[in-house]
């Protein structure tokens, strides 16, 4: 697949290079030490000592200057970035919270996150973990969702977060700087969200470094309602002029039949943000501004020149050192014992083959994800698979608990949480954690019924936290099909035969998603006319289940 060329050192390090450059130019910001991609205010300790509320926002990279560009006095205390269009892992989010909040913090900490499943899951896991460790510290979150692309009132993932998040961050930052309480800030943010409405429009598909365009448009076409990650929108129209394009957007936003539309009354004052979504030149942006608002209320004399954000008392720029914060990292297991060596070798080889299957299908899954998601489903699973292979190492020096199914599931959950990132990382972490709890109730030699219970526990946990149900066009569909078939046939057939039928049911369930209406995840925002291929997450489940069967 042809991809664009960028002024980057490598696709893998582009986010780290970007953040290193960010803090070099703006020494009022500091980069957290370690693999966390966290930027904090240089004076954050002073903010904590003053008893003020600290603010954290973050998400996948690729939306610059969000979110690191908004770290500073009167705005965010810290930002946390994931890979391009991929939610940061809980480990990094927890590190960011630790950097701006302590067990003695009087003001507390507010997490601002955009309404994307991966962010909700990963920030939620981190928030709950901190709450359990710091029961006396005030912690809360506000989920930002304000786009009005979807006009449906059916169950879905809800309104996405777009450039309206900037207003929420600015208001929250100003209130925190004033010394307002966490409860006050949270209440105002939620009230503000009821008054915000946004819509996206594009003349071309978004490109991800190393992947390529997520969708394509014919010459003269424009896409209405695309998402922050370049997901295809709700409608394609012919483009004629900037004026007509603005009319299309405003008509959609103010349409009285749009249940998510704007409800401003005559005479009310309205603030307007025009955001380029990373793709417009200044000439185009100013043309859109001209057609959107003929006369701007706020006075200005000239375009602003970018300036460095410097700490108080500093007049010159120097590249700052990193900030060190104690964080929990992946703990390696000791190498395997020699007991039951043959069984261990078989498990070791099985895991390796399953991971190799996911690596082999990385590009295929990415291609499936270009229309319904952000084109990185295969890469996300591949990151997890590669991390497993690295920890498998050799039979003699393995760093995974291959000798114990419960501990192995816990290790896989840690890898999913800390190495995969994004929605998939959080979901697989929940899946393996729930499976581990169920396997812990079994003997060392797990029966077919025990495996079925573990699969069911993982499935139930995914449904509970993600809100996805069978038929919603997600990875839940093949998992549910496999679980149902596995449980139904175990009483009549041996373990391998029953599992074979379960895998075939999962493959059929994954294939069936191509004709389903998406009700969860990013695909729920995409026009059903474009969803003519199976869901990539569902196909990924079918692939690793098939790999397990083929290598038993």
Nearest to 413 by CA among 378, 457, 377, 476: 457
Query: Which residues are part of the catalytic machinery?
Result: 229
Assess contact for 519 and 507: CB atoms under 8 A.
no
pLDDT tens per residue, the chain (552 residues)? 455 677 888 888 889 998 998 888 888 899 999 889 999 999 999 999 999 999 999 998 888 888 999 999 999 999 999 988 888 999 999 999 999 999 989 999 999 999 888 898 899 888 888 888 898 899 999 999 888 887 766 655 678 888 889 889 999 999 999 999 999 999 999 999 988 889 988 888 777 777 777 777 888 899 888 877 777 778 888 998 988 988 898 888 888 888 888 877 777 778 888 887 777 777 777 777 766 654 333 333 333 334 455 667 766 556 667 777 765 544 444 343 333 443 678 889 999 999 999 999 999 999 888 876 677 899 999 999 999 999 998 888 888 888 889 999 999 999 998 888 778 889 999 999 999 999 998 877 889 999 999 999 999 999 988 888 999 899 999 999 999 999 999 989 999 999 999 999 999 999 999 888 767 666 666 666 667 789 999 999 999 999 999 998
Residues in a beta bridge with 212: 208
Residue 40's H or E segment, with its range, is strand 38-41
- pLDDT at residue number 159: 83
- Rounded to 5°, the CA angle 131-132-137 comes to 40
Nearest to 233 by CA among 292, 263, 277: 277
Nearest to 199 by CA among 237, 151, 127: 151
Q: In angstroms, rounded to a whole number, what is the distance separating the alpha carbons of residues 28 and 42?
A: 5
Burial profile 289-316: b = 16 or more Cβ within 10 angstroms, e = fewer: eebeeeeeeeeeeeeeeeeebbbeeeee
Map residue 59 onto helix, strand or coil.
strand
Which class is domain 13-194? alpha beta
- pLDDT at residue number 294: 43
- Within 8 A by CB and 6+ apart from 62, the residues are 84, 85, 208, 229, 278
Nearest to 145 by CA among 135, 136, 137, 156: 156
Spell out the domain ranges in the chain.
Answer: 13-194, 201-205+216-297, 341-550
DSSP-derived letter for residue 419 is I
- pLDDT at residue number 319: 61
Q: Are strands 221-224 and 201-202 parallel, antiparallel or unpaired?
A: antiparallel
Q: Which of 3.30.1180.20, 3.30.160.20, 1.10.10.10, 3.30.70.380 would CATH assign to domain 201-205+216-297?
A: 3.30.1180.20
CATH number given to 341-550: 1.25.40.340
Q: Are strands 38-41 and 235-238 parallel, antiparallel or unpaired?
A: unpaired
For 37-50, how does the pLDDT look when each residue is reduced to its tens digit (9 = 90+)? 999 999 999 999 99
- Within 8 A by CB and 6+ apart from 69, the residues are 22
- pLDDT at residue number 106: 93
Encoding tokens for residue 141?
Answer: 């979150």
Count how many Cα atoms sit within 13 Å of the Cα of residue 519 in the half-sphere of its side chain: 16
Phi-psi region at 442: left, alpha or beta (left = phi > 0; alpha = psi -120 to 50)? beta
For 442-481, how does the pLDDT look when each residue is reduced to its tens digit (9 = 90+)? 877 889 999 999 999 999 999 988 888 999 899 999 999 9
Q: In angstroms, rounded to a whole number, what is the distance separating the alpha carbons of residues 471 and 483?
A: 15
Helices (H), 101-241: 117-133, 164-178, 182-193
Q: In angstroms, rounded to a whole number, what is the distance separating the alpha carbons of residues 27 and 329?
A: 27
């Amino acid at each position: 697949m042809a991809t664009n060329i960028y002024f980057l050192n490598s696709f893998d390090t582009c986010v780290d290079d970007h953040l290193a450059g960010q803090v070099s130019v703006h020494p009022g910001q500091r980069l957290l030490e370690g693999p966390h991609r966290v930027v904090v205010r240089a004076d954050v300790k002073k903010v904590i000592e003053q008893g003020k509320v600290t603010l954290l926002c973050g998400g996948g990279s690729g939306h610059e200057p969000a979110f690191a560009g908004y770290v500073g006095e009167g705005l965010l205390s810290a930002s946390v970035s994931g890979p391009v269009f991929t939610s940061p892992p809980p480990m990094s989010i927890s590190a960011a919270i630790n950097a701006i909040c302590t067990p003695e913090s009087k003001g507390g900490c507010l997490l601002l996150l955009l309404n994307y499943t991966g962010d909700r899951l990963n920030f939620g896991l981190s928030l709950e973990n901190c709450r359990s460790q710091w029961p006396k510290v005030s912690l809360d979150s506000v989920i930002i969702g304000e786009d009005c692309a979807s006009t449906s009132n059916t169950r879905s993932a809800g309104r996405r977060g777009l450039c309206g998040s900037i207003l929420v961050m600015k208001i929250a930052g100003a209130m925190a700087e004033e010394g307002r309480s966490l409860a006050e800030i949270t209440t105002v943010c939620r009230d503000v969200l009821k008054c915000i409405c946004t819509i996206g429009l594009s003349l071309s598909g978004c490109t991800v470094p190393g992947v390529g365009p997520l969708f394509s448009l014919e010459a003269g076409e424009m896409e209405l309602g695309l998402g922050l990650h370049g997901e295809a929108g709700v409608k394609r129209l012919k483009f004629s002029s900037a004026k007509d394009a603005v009319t299309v957007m405003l008509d959609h936003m103010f349409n009285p039949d749009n249940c998510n539309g704007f409800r401003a009354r005559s005479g009310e004052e309205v603030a307007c943000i025009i955001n380029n979504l990373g793709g417009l030149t200044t000439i185009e942006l100013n043309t859109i501004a001209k057609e959107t608002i003929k006369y701007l209320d706020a006075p200005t004399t000239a375009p602003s020149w970018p300036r460095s954000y410097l700490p108080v008392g500093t007049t010159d720029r120097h590249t700052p050192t990193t900030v060190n914060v104690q964080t929990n990292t992946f703990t390696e297991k000791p190498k395997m014992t020699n007991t039951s060596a043959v069984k261990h070798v078989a498990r070791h080889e099985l895991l390796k083959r399953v991971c190799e299957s996911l690596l082999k299908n990385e590009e295929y899954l990415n291609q499936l994800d270009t229309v319904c998601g952000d084109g990185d489903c295969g890469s996300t699973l591949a990151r997890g698979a590669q991390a497993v292979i690295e920890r498998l190492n050799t039979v003699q020096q393995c760093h995974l608990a291959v000798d114990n199914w419960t501990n192995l599931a816990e290790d896989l959950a840690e890898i999913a949480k800390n190495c995969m990132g994004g929605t998939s990382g959080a979901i697989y972490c929940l899946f393996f954690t729930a499976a581990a709890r169920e396997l812990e109730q079994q003997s060392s030699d797990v029966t077919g019924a025990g495996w079925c219970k573990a699969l069911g526990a993982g499935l139930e946990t995914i449904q509970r936290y993600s809100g996805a149900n069978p038929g919603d066009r997600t990875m839940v569909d093949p998992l549910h099909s496999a679980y149902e078939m596995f449980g139904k046939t175990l009483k009549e057939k041996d373990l391998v035969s029953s599992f074979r039928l379960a895998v075939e049911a999962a493959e059929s369930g994954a294939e069936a998603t191509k004709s389903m209406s998406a009700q969860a995840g990013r695909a729920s925002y995409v026009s059903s006319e474009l969803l003519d291929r199976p869901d990539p997450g569902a196909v990924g489940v079918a692939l690793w289940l098939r790999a397990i069967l083929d290598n038993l």
